[in-house]
Structure 1
Amino acid sequence: MNIVPLDAARLTGLIPSLAELLADAVDGGASVGFLAPLGRAEAAGWWKGRSAAVAAGRLVVWVAYEEPGRVLGTVSLALPDKPNSAHRAELVKLMVHRAARGRGLGRRLLTVAEEAAVARGITLLHLDTETGSPAEHLYRSSGWTPVGAIPDYAADPAGVLRPTTVYYKRPGADPAAPAPG
């Protein structure tokens, strides 16, 4: 399995496959910001909208694939544009195609994003995910710390309001070391 970062041109070239991945995630019940059913055209439009952020360096996107052109997973880091927040990033849109689940790909994508954050000098990552979702197990078992849950934060793909848990992680930090003050 190859995991590579995308520049804006490569992202644009992979939009059909990225749209398939996003639609599959939503159809599979992943709460990633969309309601089901998610059409391929809508999913493609969303990915097209990410291209400018990638080109501007505000969004870093990685894809995982076994064969060129068929994306099986993705993860992104959203980088803030404010000077007082250059030390942090938000982990967004970690998705694994249902056909590739159960093989450790989600954990590998998470590790790639965390290692890239460290290489960029990022000392704090944060994310939110649907409370009680399978993603929560991945984040907790990967050393992410839950901050708390917000009730009725977002609708799941079926349109039902669900709570969301917010997590943070200090990438590259010794997990046994106490958190700074």
Structure 2
Amino acid sequence: MTSHVIRLLSPMEAQDRRADLVELLVDAVESGASVNFVWPMTRAKAEAWWEGALASHARGERLIFSAEVAGKLDGTVQLILAPQENQFFRADLAKMLVHRRARCQGLGTRLMQAAEAEARRIGRTLLTLDTKARSAGERLYARLGWTKVGEIPDFSASADNLSRRPASFFYKML
């Protein structure tokens, strides 16, 4: 384990870390992460995406967590609250990103645990997510007690945009 601090960012703190969040998204996609983008991953694409996510965070629609050490943002994950009246108890986990320099240090586990704890605290008892099938993410979620409900073939293009990849879907009851 590292000395990273995992915490829920306020909307103002997230806005203040925008440049670091942009860099984290660019790094993730450039290293092949399947998080809705293909190469080339430009700062402009990442900035546009974070603009919307930060506005959503400010409206209370999502929560953004960070993993930081020595002033560096090395990881993030989001809890997106289901807005439907009949799904007030549900949330999606999204954009689990760990910078290449900080991988294999337990940050993914710690970010997931923080998001799950906050979901439990605010009464969100059903969590869902999707990830690239047969990936490190899939192994992480299974290890953390998430239940895989299946795969959809050819769900998304790979980061290099040369092939289509299956996605695995998971849930966890808290």
TM range (shorter): over 0.9
| Residues 1:92 and 2:91 are matched in the alignment | no
Report what 1:146 is aligned to.
148
Question: TM-score, normalised on structure 1?
Answer: 0.91
Gaps of 5+ in 1: 172-181
Runs of 4+ residues over 6 Å off in structure 1: none
Please tell me whether residue 104 in structure 1 is matched to residue 109 in structure 2.
no
- The amino acid that maps onto 2:150 is G
Partner of 2:30: 27
Amino acid at match of 1:21: L
Question: Which of residues 124, 138, 142 is equivalent to 1:136?
Answer: 138
**Where in structure 2 are there 5+ consecutive unaligned residues?**
none
Partner residue in 2 for 1:43: 46
Deviates more, 1:44-53 or 1:110-119: 44-53
Residues 103-144 of structure 1: per-residue CA shift (max 9 Å, x gap):
100000000001111101111000000111111110011101
In structure 1, which of residues 14, 17, 33 is the aligned counterpart of residue 17 of structure 2?
A: 14
Q: Percent identity?
A: 42
- Matching of residues 135-174 of structure 1 within 5 Å: 135-159=137-161, 160-171=163-174
1:16 Cα offset (Å): 0.9
2:96 maps to a residue whose letter is: L
CA-atom RMSD, angstroms?
Answer: 1.0
